[in-house]
Amino acid sequence: MKKVMKVAIAFVFSLSACFANAASHYISGKITNITAIEGALLIMVDNGNIPDHCKGTPYNWLKIKQENTTMVSVVLTQWASNNRTATVYTSGIENAGSYCLVTQVDPLG
């Protein structure tokens, strides 16, 4: 009985790793889309899931400013290598009507 319970718990935890986890200031999941705009790289995590304080960012895009070259490089390397799982930390929406700013990208795996 204990072995069955351990297997069931392990199964539930393995399923939870497949879904995005969002909190007030970060989201963990797969980077599913990228696009470039003037002065920034925009990313989308798990088809548009966003942290709580990013509500209202256009089309659920998260913005990495061009000046943050290390983060841009990390995301583009992840994209090219098809290793796109990450935790993305944000500071909220920069100005009314603008994108939610990314402050850190932590690749997983």
Contact yes or no for 65/101 (Cβ under 8 A): yes
Residue 109 burial (CB < 10 Å; 0-12/13-18/19+)? exposed
**Per-residue pLDDT tens digits for 44-53:** 999 889 999 9
The structure tokens 């990314």 sit at 102
- 6 versus 23: which is more confidently predicted? 23
Please report the pLDDT score of residue 47 as a whole number.
81
